[in-house]
Amino acid sequence: MNRRLTALFFFAVAMAFVEAAVVAYLRALFPTTQLTATVPFSHLVYRTEVIREAATIVMLLAVSYLSFTRTALKVVTFFWIFAIWDLVYYAFLKAILGWPASFSTRDVLFLIPFPWVAPVWVPLAVSTIALVVSSYLFVRLGRSRPAAAPLKAE
């Protein structure tokens, strides 16, 4: 299971960079705005962002689904990689853009089903809790039954 979790970890980190790069590009395209839920994006940009967010969740779900055969491990995997992705995403934003200025800086967390706006500490706290709980559950589930059989090459 350790090699699988290592691969999942690097997937989550790579996804975090891609997401942070998208934000960096949006800020370059819209330099005079703060990119909050109140920014009047064109319908095309807003719709594209909603679809991109949905695609990101689909990718995380797909990788989680393919990672293990047991349903419980698939669910735990989703929360584990989501938490890593979210935490590293904010680290990349800080490294690339110098943003957020503080943990109390407000951010648009999601646009689905409507814009969620909160201080940055909220997703960081939720993701930290999800990471701790999912890591604990990996240990517990790994002891209760053998890990899933390796994926077969096709």
Q: Please report, for the chain, the start and end positions of each structural domain, with discontinuous segments joined by +.
A: 2-143
Joined together, the tokens standing for residue 15 give: 């996804």
Joined together, the tokens standing for residue 108 give: 């648009």
Tell me, what's the pLDDT at 30? 74
**Residue 108 corresponds to which amino acid?**
V
Residue 37 backbone dihedrals phi, psi, to 5 degrees: -65, -20
Average pLDDT on 126-136 reads 97
Q: What is the pTM of this model?
A: 0.85
Residues 138 and 80 sit within 8 Å (Cβ to Cβ): yes
For residue 123, give Cα distances in angstroms to 17, 37, 150: 17, 16, 33
- 151 three-class SS: coil
Average pLDDT on 72-89 reads 97
Q: Is the pLDDT of residue 32 over 80?
A: no
Tell me, what's the pLDDT at 145? 53
Average pLDDT on 47-61 reads 93
